[in-house]
Chain A
Amino acid sequence: MADDDDDTWVDAVAGRTPADSRTPAAREGMKLREALLRTSPAARAESTAQSDQREAELIARAEREGLIETARVSAPRRSLLRFAPAWAAAAVVMLAVGIIFVAHTPPLVVERGDDGIVRIETREPIALKRELIRELKAVGVNAIGYERFGIEGIDADLPQPLTDEVRAVLDRHGIEAPADGVLRIEIVRP
């Protein structure tokens, strides 16, 4: 569990002068910072002779990904294409909204790992994530959702002590309340 001692330590690692630089945490952080900066790994940059080939690869990649072609089309077309990410995002949102209206499959497995992360397996991770975020926000919790490589995640700092409303949300989904108030959830397909 994180505490003020860790704050002192990380401030010292970052080079910010802690309130009391004589504390063990401050000294530990300062020594670590000194060692890190002194022994920073030597540059292992590639030979500059390869830069032409490297640049050619980069340009080829940009062309493969449609960046350079995109830029060569006419201005009106380019302006439309500039909105492509927005259209894609809108499509994703519509898809996600659609999923919510599909019959919700209850979580299959809910367990807390040794690292404190609650892992949930469900056939509809995106829908469950959105539902959890909506329910947590409805009871005043600032829940942040994210997605990384197929894992849907939620981070939330729960009020301490836990309110009945928040506890009810957690209970509804079979989630055990974290002792430190830091709720971290990962949702995956089975």
Chain B
Amino acid sequence: MLACREGGRAIERALRLLDRSYFAVLYRESMRGLRDAEAARDLVQETFIKVWQRCAAFRGDSELLPWIKAILRHGLLDRLRRAQREVPLDADGEPHAEVEARLTELSMSTIAKPEDEAARRERDECFRRCWERFERAAPAHALVLSWIAEDALTHAQIAELLGRSPGATREFISQCRKRARVHLAEWYEQTFT
């Protein structure tokens, strides 16, 4: 970051260093949301450019990678919003009543007893399949949910990422849960029975 502030050739060196250090992790994150190699590369480059533009705002007391990832995630969510307006789950914006009822019933039941490796693999495969459907249908919701799990995001961090008020953020989280329940229904069925 110091080089970034020095200017001149130092910027080139800084950009190359950024690329070597963080391209892989940022590209993986971009691919997950955009599912297009060219677009993912473009977003990572755009992120590096923004890192340079905003380097004066970087507080040296925080870690660099989370700060860069936050910039990438803002860009990623913006691109997803631009690409598609996600449609409500049904006319009322709620999951189908029977799905809701079944999931409530399942989550009330006892979690399965220890299972063998083959069954676990099968369940993981089911999850991947369902999650991929979720990502395609509601990419922003799926992405934010995965970030919450991976980075233990707090409500405040989620609100900052979304750029929304606390109330709107809670509503978004509620929508994440509803959509997950619909798209992961098959996995829920395997997991809780």
A-to-B contact residues, CB < 8 Å: 1-3, 6-7, 9-10, 13-16, 24-25, 27-28, 31-33, 35-41, 43-46, 51, 54-55, 57-59, 61-62, 65, 67-68, 70-72, 78, 85, 113-116, 142, 144, 146, 148-149, 155-157, 180-182, 184
B102 at the binding interface (Cβ < 8 Å): no
Indicate if the CB atoms of A115 and B27 lie closer than 8 Å.
Answer: no
B104 at the binding interface (Cβ < 8 Å): yes
Indicate if the CB atoms of A58 and B48 lie closer than 8 Å.
Answer: yes
B60 at the binding interface (Cβ < 8 Å): no
On whether A148 and B111 interact (CB within 8 A), knowing A10-B173, A24-B104, the answer reads no
Indicate if the CB atoms of A149 and B145 lie closer than 8 Å.
Answer: no
Indicate if the CB atoms of A45 and B174 lie closer than 8 Å.
Answer: no
Known: A45-B27, A54-B23. 13 other contacts (CB 8 A): A14-B149, A24-B107, A31-B111, A31-B191, A36-B146, A39-B124, A39-B127, A51-B19, A67-B52, A67-B53, A142-B165, A156-B165, A182-B165
Indicate if the CB atoms of B149 and A32 lie closer than 8 Å.
Answer: yes
B118 at the binding interface (Cβ < 8 Å): no
Indicate if the CB atoms of A28 and B28 lie closer than 8 Å.
Answer: no
Question: Would you mind naming 29 contact pairs between A and B with Cβ atoms under 8 Å apart?
Answer: A6-B170, A10-B155, A10-B173, A10-B177, A14-B148, A14-B149, A25-B107, A27-B111, A36-B131, A36-B146, A43-B24, A44-B27, A54-B19, A55-B16, A58-B19, A61-B45, A62-B49, A67-B52, A68-B12, A70-B7, A71-B7, A114-B88, A114-B93, A116-B93, A144-B164, A144-B165, A148-B82, A157-B165, A184-B171
Indicate if the CB atoms of A1 and B171 lie closer than 8 Å.
Answer: yes
Indicate if the CB atoms of A6 and B177 lie closer than 8 Å.
Answer: yes
B108 at the binding interface (Cβ < 8 Å): yes
- 5 closest residue pairs by CB, A with B: A71-B7, A2-B170, A2-B174, A157-B167, A24-B107
Indicate if the CB atoms of B23 and A67 lie closer than 8 Å.
Answer: no
In the complex, which residues of chain B have a beta carbon less than 8 angstroms from the beta carbon of A61?
A: 45, 49
Q: How many residues of chain B have a CB within 8 Å of chain A?
A: 67
Closest Cβ of chain B to A21, distance in Å, is 12
Indicate if the CB atoms of B45 and A146 lie closer than 8 Å.
Answer: no
Q: Given B16, B23, B78, B124, which contacts A38 in the complex, CB threshold below 8 Å?
A: B124
Indicate if the CB atoms of B170 and A155 lie closer than 8 Å.
Answer: no
